[in-house]
Amino acid sequence: MTFLGKLWSFFSTTWTYFWATLTAFPFLGFPLAYFLVYLWKKDRRLAGRWAVNITNFLLIRAVVVAYSVIWPEALSAWWWITGFFLAAIGLIGWVQIRLKGKLSLLKASFSVWRLSFLLFGLVYVVLYTTGIFKTMGDV
C-alpha cells in the first residue's frame, strides 16, 4: 500500500471513529461546537446558538440510531421525527393564527427546532437507558 493509501486509511478510520463517538454521545458535540465557533467568531451568544443547533442534529442522529438498534424491525425513526416536526409546526402555526391572526412559518419552525432540542435530549436519555436494560436482560 502506498503512503497516500495509508494516509487516506488513517484519516478515514479516524473520521469514522469521531462520528461514531458523537453519535453515541451527542452531548460531546456541544462543547466542541461552542469552542470552535467561539474561536472562529469571538461571540459567545452566537457560539451558544450554533452549539445548540449542531447538538440538536447530533441528538436526532443518535435517537435514530438508538431506535434502530433497540427495535430493528420497527418503522424507521425518521418517519416518527418527520411526523413530529410536521405536527408540531402545524400546532404552533394554528396557535399563532388563533392568537395573532397571521402565520409566521419561519417563527413556528424555529420554535419547534428549539423545543426539539429538549425533546430529543429526553428521548435520547430514555432510549439509551432502555438499550442498557434491554442488553442486560439479554445477557
Segment 39-63, tens digit of pLDDT = 999 999 999 999 999 999 999 999 9
Which pTM value belongs to this model? Answer: 0.85
Half-sphere exposure of 133 (CA within 13 A, CB side): 6
The domains of the chain are located at: 3-138
Question: What integer pLDDT is reported at residue 134 of this predicted model?
Answer: 84
Contacts of 29 (CB under 8 A, 6+ apart): 22, 51, 54, 55, 58
Percent of the chain with pLDDT strictly greater than 70 = 98
